[in-house]
Amino acid sequence: MLMRAVILLIVLFTAFSSRFDSHQSGEFKLGNEVLLDNIEILKNKNVALLTNQTGILPSGTHIVDALIDKKINVVKIFSPEHGIRGDENYSNIDEKTEIPIVSLYGGKNKPSSGDLKNVDIIIYDIQDVGARFYTYTSTLYYMLESAIQNGKTVIVCDRPIIINPAYTDGFMLEPEFESFVGLVPAPVCYGMTCGELAIYLCNYVFNNTDYLKVYEMQNYSRSTDYNALNLPWVKPSPNMLSPQTAVCYPATCFLEGTNVSEGRGTAKPFEYFGAPWVNSELLAKALNSYNLSGVVFEPVTFTPSEKISSYPPKFFNKTCYGVYINVTNKSAFEPVKAGTAILIELHKNFPEFKFNKAHFIDKLAGTDKLRKSVTEGKSLSEINSLWKSSLNEFNLKREKILLYR
């Protein structure tokens, strides 16, 4: 009897291990790869793409080229901020393919009925960074809205989240602060892939899921680390130099609404921040006193000396003193809380610190509560408590539409 029990345990363990290994060793596929495996859906259709330089396969082949190779009739390309190739060239024709381009940045953010007249299907394939104020979320919003209004199908090719996929945090967007850097009714960090975000919008904003099809990634879960996928890194925007930049971005993008450099023009944009009048040692010590998870704040001196994009860096060619955000554990790091602490300590310790007169910070935060709370001297825990209730409500909605666990 004992021998039989041992044999049974061995068999069960072997079967379990086999299933586990099979799941773990399954080939990861991007949403665009899955779409190309099911290419028949695009045959005899007029196809448009909303994409940019990040819309590539793991091989580096661009989705536009892959579709043309498969004889798909690509009639139009829509481009987001920074253009189709990420070089801020907003020409009307893609030089490589000679396909017409419609820019959805600047004078026009939403496709018109005329733009979609000769289109049957729109394919969305863009890598974002998981922050509400990254404008690709607004471009997705407008494309879905226009497609529904005009009865056109949108196919979203899903892509992995660069930051912690389970992390949600920050103020919800309040309607009076809607702008192109804040259009999706979600917290600053919403913890969804672009496919999940599209489902969220169609379910809770547009109340219409008839025109959306998401091609899910294969063998992806919320425990999947972006870096472990070994995908080729293509900058989603000119200053998004690496995946580590994206991890810090939700913390330091708030500084775009202040007179403090967020590190643009340096080797580590959004990882460095500071100004000529900052005391690096004092600020790093103050931030480390919060004992925030997964991060160490280190004094740094830097000089913004490169004009990487059309946004000129603050304090160009001037020595700045500030802090390097050294994220030691991405899964534990909470960038929105870190960004809030940064604003608190800058305001508390440096009289030169100012929010921009136009209060751009309110558009980034999606509310004026963050700015007002900082200037009123509220603590980090007091400010965090202001968004707790609305964040809980969001998380309940989000949980219902997630594709990956």
Would you kindly state where each structural domain of the chain is located, as residue ranges? Answer: 31-232+397-401, 243-385
pLDDT band at 86 (very low <50, low <70, confident <90, very high): confident
Mean pLDDT of 53-80: 97
> 243-385: which CATH architecture?
Alpha-Beta Complex (3.90)
How far is 239 from 252, CA to CA, in rounded Å? 13
Q: 82 — alpha (psi -120 to 50), left (phi > 0) or beta?
A: left
E-assigned strand segments in 52-208: 73-79, 101-103, 121-125, 153-157
pLDDT-derived band at 308 (thresholds 50, 70, 90) equals confident
pLDDT of residue 15: 36
Q: Is 104 helix (H, G, I), strand (E, B) or coil?
A: coil
Integer Cα distance of 100 and 87 in angstroms: 17
Q: CA quadruple 206, 207, 211, 213: dihedral positive or negative?
A: positive
Is pLDDT at 97 greater than 50 in this prediction? yes
φ, ψ for residue 275, nearest 5 deg: -160, 165
CA distance 340 to 374: 8
Confidence band (pLDDT; 50, 70, 90) for 11?
Answer: very low
pLDDT of residue 143: 98
Q: What is the pLDDT of residue 90?
A: 78
Q: Is the model's pLDDT at 110 over the cut of 70?
A: yes
Query: For residues 297 and 323, what is the distance between their CA atoms, to the nearest angstrom?
Result: 6
Pick among 2.40.50.140, 3.20.190.10, 3.30.930.10, 3.40.50.12170: CATH of 31-232+397-401: 3.40.50.12170
82, 86, 103, 133, 145 from 106: Cα distances, Å: 10, 15, 8, 16, 18
Strands (E), 177-333: 212-215, 272-275, 295-302, 320-327
Task: Dig out the tokens for 51 from the structure.
Answer: 């994409």
The pLDDT, as a whole number, for residue 83 is 87
pLDDT tens digits along 265-290: 999 999 999 999 999 999 999 999 99
For the chain, the maximum distance between any two Cα atoms, rounded to a whole number of angstroms, is 81
Q: pLDDT (tens digit, 9 = 90+) per residue, 349-380?
A: 999 999 999 999 999 999 999 999 999 999 99
Residue 20 has pLDDT above 60, yes or no: no
Whether 45 contacts 68, CB under 8 Å: no
Phi, psi of 60 (to 5 degrees): 100, -10
**For residue 4, pLDDT beyond 90:** no
Tell me if 31-232+397-401 shares its fold with 243-385: no
* Residues above pLDDT 70, as percent of the chain: 94
**Residue indicated by tokens 């460095």:** 272
Contact criterion met (CB below 8 Å) for 290 and 251: no
- Name 153's Cβ contacts closer than 8 Å, sequence gap at least 6: 120, 121, 122, 147, 211, 212, 213
Please tell me the predicted confidence (pLDDT) of residue 14: 35
Mean pLDDT across the chain: 93
312 pLDDT band, cuts 50/70/90, is confident
Residue 393's pLDDT band, with cuts at 50, 70 and 90, is very high
Overall average pLDDT of the 67-93 stretch: 90
Nearest C-alpha neighbor of 137 from the set 274, 253, 291, 12: 253
Is residue 105 within 8 Å of 90, Cβ to Cβ?
yes
Q: How many CA atoms lie within 13 A of 52 on its CB side?
A: 28
pLDDT at 289: 98
Region 219-227: what's the mean pLDDT? 97
Per-residue pLDDT at 24 exceeds 80:
no
Digit-coded pLDDT (tens) for 112-168: 999 999 999 999 999 999 999 999 999 999 999 999 999 999 999 999 999 999 999
52 exposure class (CB count in 10 Å sphere: 0-12, 13-18, 19+): buried
